[in-house]
Amino acid sequence: MSKITKVVARQVFDSRGNPTIEAEIFVKNLSSSSICPSGASTGTYEAFEKRDKANKKYLGKSVFIPVKYINTVISKKLKNQNIHNQERIDHILIKLDGTKQKKKIGANAILAVSMAAKKLSAKIKKIPLYKNFLVKSNYKLPYPLMNIINGGAHANNRLRIQEFMIRPDRAKSFSESVRMCFIVINNLKKLIKQMGYSTSVGDEGGFAPMINDNESALKLIVKAINLSGFKNGKDISICLDVAANELIKNKKYSIHSKKFISVDKSIQNYLKLIKKYKIKSIEDPFGENDWTAWNKFLSKTQKIQIVGDDLFVTNLERLKVGFLNMSANSILIKLNQIGTVTETLEVIKFAQLIGYKTIISHRSGDSEDSFIADLAVGTNSNQIKTGSLARSERVAKYNQLIRIEEKLGKYSKMNTI
Ligand code: PGA
Ligand code: ZN
């Protein structure tokens, strides 16, 4: 048995320059560390992110209190535990917190420790991290969902939809899927430049031009796909994350323009967009409490992927409600929405059991930690959403998947979409 000797934590910084937690876990002189990411458009039901609100040295954003908790209480509690028993480690952390949304210790502290433990277990077993999850053979690579135009809470423009993504549906390998996106991104950059807009990027590495309306962004992407010699809806598909939680007032939505309109009218507009731009996937089309709207929408869009992010918050209870309500057919998986590796794996297993697609996701505030790339392969997840081909914290995940594909060699296969 490999017994944990100690856990050490420190405050480091995420891709937005905000403080976050890195935990390092030790078994004798061997250690692994992991960094917790952080969202901007967070769901109400997500696990809690603990910060030192009263400490103004970092504008209330520092994480010294949870860091200290790891260095003292957590380190002591996990001492002598078996590093390979992830469920027990996570159970201890969950119990230590004792609240439903991990408000006492903070899910950011818990998750950093949980992920570090998973990594060290793989290191001690001398296996790559992706082999330390659910899948034991026939590993498959996920399709990337690359966020190439950023709007909403991730950019300073006036785009209402938060993420305009492309998915290279016809790619036969992961490296080919990256190449296809690379070509489209470069053509998109050219087009944006020609229009006289800035080609600077948003939080997730996509361009953030000062475009006013969703349709202008969609037209630009279709143009870039065509210019690249690909067929929209066949070789490459457009996928959206509306993040509609941010666009709701009195049960009305301002998704399609500044004006707030009813669910029925919003659905009509969605259907027009889906048809016109051959959209294949829509994430968070409605608010996190609007189960009826989700159900109505799903019944009208059976053929496309409807993804619950803020709706499910990687939470088994919410996924069960959504399943019974027929709200979606896919789930976005974000480790820090729930707070431990074990709970994340439980949600993935259940989602796959009920026939939902699983999409592993980064957060808009992320880091060089590429844990989610291994998680995607190790859980047989269909897709991975980790930004554009820009900003090292996004590219780190793609690079790790390229390495995994190379290691798998002739055994590597793409997943189904
Ligand atoms: P977030 O955005 O990390 O800011 O929540 C990502 C998403 O909504 O999918
Ligand atoms: Zn989302």
CB of 344 shorter than 6 A to ligand 1: no
**What average pLDDT does the chain have?**
97
User: Is residue 302 over pLDDT 80?
Assistant: no
The closest-lying atom of ligand 1 relative to the alpha carbon of residue 37 is 3
Structure tokens at 397: 């995940």
pLDDT of 167 strictly over 80: yes
Which residue carries 């859980």 as its tokens?
379
In testing the pocket of ligand 1, which one of 247, 363, 384 has its CB within 8 Å of the most ligand atoms? 363
Q: What 8-state DSSP symbol labels residue 232?
A: B
Q: Which two tokens stand for residue 357?
A: 């697609």
pLDDT at residue number 153: 80
Ligand nearest to the Cα of 49, by number: 1
DSSP letter at 322 equals H
Do 43 and 112 form a contact (C-beta atoms < 8 A)? no
Q: What would the mean pLDDT of 323-336 be, rounded to a whole number? A: 98
CA 243 to ligand 1: nearest atom: 8
Distances (CA, A) of 163 to 41, 114, 395: 11, 29, 17
Q: 314: Cβ below 6 Å to ligand 1?
A: no
Element holding 343 (H helix, E strand):
helix 341-353
pLDDT band, residue 156 (cuts 50/70/90): confident
Mean pLDDT of the region 302-312: 95
pLDDT confidence of residue 186 = 98
- The per-residue pLDDT for 22 is 98
Protein residue closest via CA to atom 1 of ligand 1: 39
- Is 246 a pocket residue for ligand 1 (Cβ < 6 Å)? no
**What is the bridge-based pairing of β-strands 6-13 and 163-167?**
unpaired
Q: How many CB atoms lie within 10 A of CB 262?
A: 12
How many A from CA of 124 to the centre of ligand 2?
Answer: 35
Angle at which helices 107-125 and 341-353 cross, to 10°? 80
d(CA 102, CA 97): 6
**Range with the poorest average pLDDT among 33-42, 146-155, 174-183, 224-233:** 146-155
What whole-number distance in Å separates Cα of residue 113 and Cα of residue 203?
25
pLDDT tens digits, 178-233: 999 999 999 999 999 999 999 999 999 999 999 989 999 999 999 999 999 999 99
* Rounded distance between C-alpha atoms, residue 141 and residue 398, angstroms: 11
Which ligand has an atom closest to residue 42 CA? 1
The pLDDT, as a whole number, for residue 411 is: 86
Please, is 242 exposed, middle or buried when counting C-beta atoms within 10 Å of its C-beta (0-12, 13-18, 19+)? buried
Residues 7-19: tens digit of each pLDDT: 999 999 999 999 9
Confidence of residue 157 (pLDDT cuts 50, 70, 90): confident
Paired sense of beta strands 252-253 and 248-249, if any: antiparallel
| Identity at 319, one-letter amino acid code | L
Q: Which atom of ligand 1 is nearest to the CA of 162?
A: 8
Q: From the CB of 40, is ligand 1 less than 6 Å away?
A: yes
In the numeric block, the tokens 């957590």 are attached to 74
Query: Among all ligands shown, which has an atom nearest to the Cα of 336?
Result: 1
Q: Determine whether 204 is an active site residue.
A: yes
Tell me the percentage of the chain whose pLDDT exceeds 90. Answer: 96
Ramachandran area for residue 307 (φ above 0: left; ψ -120 to 50: alpha; else beta):
beta
What is the model's pTM? 0.97
Which residue is catalytic, options 49, 204, 283, 288? Answer: 204
Q: Report yes or no: 99 and 109 within 8 Å, Cβ to Cβ.
A: no
**Ligand 2 centre distance from Cα of residue 243 (Å):** 5
Q: How far is CA 182 from CA 147, 224, 395, in A?
A: 12, 11, 12
**Does the Cβ of 241 fall within 6 Å of ligand 1?**
yes
Q: Which domains does the chain show, CATH number per domain?
A: 6-127 (3.30.390.10), 143-411 (3.20.20.120)
Going by pLDDT thresholds of 50, 70 and 90, the confidence category of residue 374 is very high
Residue 204: the pLDDT is 94
CA 241 – ligand 2 centroid, Å: 5
Whether 367 contacts 15, CB under 8 Å: yes
The response to whether residue 39 sits with its C-beta less than 6 Å from ligand 1 reads yes
Instruction: Give catalytic status of residue 334 as yes or no.
Output: yes
Which ligand minimizes its atom distance to the CA of 337?
A: 1
Q: Which of 314, 364, 388, 393 to mutate to test the pocket of ligand 1 (most atoms within 8 A of CB)?
A: 364
Ligand 1: which of 150, 359, 361 to mutate, most ligand atoms within 8 Å of CB?
361
Output phi, psi for 96, to 5 deg: -60, -35
User: How open is the CA angle 365-104-39, to the nearest 5 degrees?
Assistant: 15
Number of the ligand 1 atom closest to the C-alpha atom of 42:
5
> Could you tell me if the CB of 288 is within 6 A of ligand 1?
no
Single out the catalytic residue among 334, 357, 385, 397: 334
Query: Residues of the chain with pLDDT > 70: what percent?
Result: 100
Q: Which value, in Å, is the radius of gyration of the alpha carbons in the chain?
A: 21
How sure is the predictor about 41, in pLDDT bands with cuts at 50, 70 and 90?
Answer: confident
Q: What's the mean pLDDT in 307-312?
A: 98
* pLDDT tens per residue across span 403-415: 999 999 988 999 9
Residue 182: exposure state from Cβ atoms within 10 A (0-12, 13-18, ≥19): middle
3-state secondary structure of 125: helix
Which atom of ligand 1 lies nearest, measured to the CA of 40? 4
Which long-range contacts link 151-156 to residues 24+ away (Cβ below 8 Å)?
151/202, 151/208, 151/214, 151/217, 152/41, 152/243, 152/246, 153/40, 153/41, 153/243, 153/246, 153/364, 154/40, 154/41, 154/202, 154/203, 154/204, 154/206, 154/208, 154/364, 155/202, 155/203, 155/208, 156/208
Q: Enumerate residues 6+ apart whose C-beta is below 8 A from 324.
A: none
> 3-class DSSP state for residue 104?
coil
